[in-house]
Amino acid sequence: MFSVKFTLTIVFCPKSNNLHQEVKKKGPFTEAGIKQFLTELLPILEYIHSQKVIHRDIKPANLIRSQKDSKLVLIDFGAVKNQVNSMVANNTQTAFTAFAVGTAGFAPPEQMAMRPVYASDIYAVGVTCVYLLTAKTPKDIGCDPETGEIAWEPYVDISYSLAKVLKKMLEVSVKHRYKSAEQVLDAMAMAPYEQGMQDSMTTMISGFKTSGSPSTPNCSVSTGLITTSPSTRTRGNTVSSVSTELNKPVSISVNRGGGGGGGAAAPGSVYNMAHGATSTRRRGRGKTAFSDATEPKKKKKKWRSKTLLKAYNKGRRDFAHQELNELNLSKAFLPGINCYDSKLSRINLQGAELSRADLGRADLSEAIMKNANLNEAYLGYANLNGADLRGANLCGANLNYANLQGANLCGVDLNSARITEAQLSVAKTNWRTVMPSGKRGFW
């Protein structure tokens, strides 16, 4: 038995809306918005858990964004302010409580059974993400009658990597769920690289013919499991070691004639949750693809301005990890486009519509983005060295850890943007620049 002391800080935010109200007013979040939300909330949750506190009532109504600085605030610690009977048995994360707390649908089974763990908050964050993506509560979505899991997949159309993270956050079994906020952040950082490794280890043979012998009939061979060696990731200034297992079979498809089939999802491919499949590029007729060190790497598609706009107009939104340097997309209409980790050096985006775009980790050095609309865009860790953003709209944009060395922010609207004084100190601003506080002038 031990006692728990709580220090409660009351924050008065009279003009702030909670995320439930925000969704009702502005509609569901985009994938970029969800990534931004998670990168803001998870460090908060990580700190709370480090203080040996389980919130137990995370939901959209308990998350507000201050209009003063647009920072996310987690409120309502009423679920934990009461003294807990903390008899810890075997598992140090488990506390037996005398009462069940939480909101139905957002609280996982173990919490409703009065055995909350730190991973219970991870589940609640996952359900919150589903609500932000769909504007539907768990009650509206329903659940799988056999497993009891929330049947959220048919309601969203997101990338494979994000879907994989959300699915593990929403595992009914604590054993299979992320145990900490740090694990979720690790998974988000590793997802694009994991997909790349998975794709490189998938061998597909298409249109194979044996020299001097009849064509080989259609067949399929499946081998055993693959385990990758530990790899590293970088998040901010922190480097940690992550061990990843890709329990995916290697499939070898031998077809006569046309392009090869299936395989692992390529980086940036779109995961259609309604059908549980990923869209992949078809290989050309008669070509053979091997995952072999002696084979040259497949060249990335060479994008031109017209082909990119045509693909976007046909419904494609995912242009992550692409070579888009020096394209002319002046005045292009590209809201919600995903250019995560893409190379856009010296690209012309003057006057372009890029609201809620995902430009995280993108190379935008010397890009021309004058008068572009980047409202609520995600630019975390992006390289904007020498970029021209004069007159651009960056209201509500996330510029966390973005490199703004030499960037021209004269006349830029940064109202409610996530940006620091240190970042602004290395950029060019003037009296017309609207600061995050909403006031014009220098910081």
Residues 112-122: pLDDT tens digits? Answer: 888 999 999 99
Helix (H, G, I), strand (E, B) or coil at 308: helix
Confidence (pLDDT) at 143: 85
**CA–CA gap between residue 389 and residue 351 (Å, rounded):** 10
The dihedral through the CA atoms of 22, 23, 24, 28 has a sign that is positive
Q: Which residues pair with 398 in a beta bridge?
A: 378, 418
Residue that the structure tokens 């044996």 belong to: 210
Catalytic residue among 57, 318, 358, 413: 57
**CA–CA gap between residue 366 and residue 389 (Å, rounded):** 10
Which DSSP string do the residues of 242-300 spell out, in sequence order?
E--EE----EEEE-SSS-----SPPTT-EEETTTTEE--PPPPTT-EE---TTSPPPPP
357, 32 in Cβ contact below 8 A? yes
408, 414 in Cβ contact below 8 A? no
> In this structure, what token pair is assigned to residue 74?
């987690």
Residue that the structure tokens 């679920």 belong to: 79
Per DSSP, 433 falls in state P
- Number of neighbours of residue 354 by Cβ within 10 angstroms: 27
Cα torsion through 397, 399, 403, 408, rounded to 10:
30
CATH topology of domain 300-443: Pectate Lyase C-like (2.160.20)
Domain ranges of the chain: 17-179, 192-289, 300-443
The dihedral through the CA atoms of 153, 157, 160, 161 has a sign that is negative
302 to 23, 141, 329: CA distances (angstroms):
38, 41, 15
Mean pLDDT by 10 residues, the chain (443 residues): 46 69 92 92 94 93 84 77 41 46 88 92 96 93 84 89 93 93 90 60 44 42 36 37 38 37 41 42 37 49 91 92 94 94 95 95 96 95 96 95 94 94 92 90 61
**CA–CA gap between residue 380 and residue 357 (Å, rounded):** 11
Confidence (pLDDT) at 72: 87
Alpha helices, DSSP H, located in 158-211: 160-169, 181-200
Confidence (pLDDT) at 4: 46
Confidence (pLDDT) at 92: 44
> For residue 162, what are the contacts with CB-CB under 8 A and spacing of at least 6?
31, 34, 35, 188, 191
Per DSSP, 219 falls in state E
171 to 44, 63, 152, 252: CA distances (angstroms):
22, 22, 12, 31
**CA–CA gap between residue 77 and residue 85 (Å, rounded):** 17
Determine phi and psi for 236, rounding to 5 degrees.
Answer: 65, -120
**CA–CA gap between residue 334 and residue 401 (Å, rounded):** 24
Residue that the structure tokens 């060395």 belong to: 405
Which DSSP string do the residues of 96-141 spell out, in sequence order?
--SS--S-TTTS-HHHHTT---HHHHHHHHHHHHHHHHHS--HHHH
Strands 204-205 and 157-159 come out as: unpaired
Superfamily of domain 17-179: Transferase(Phosphotransferase) domain 1 (1.10.510.10)
> In this structure, what token pair is assigned to residue 29?
């979040």
**CA–CA gap between residue 120 and residue 178 (Å, rounded):** 9
Active-site residue flag, 186: no
Confidence (pLDDT) at 347: 96
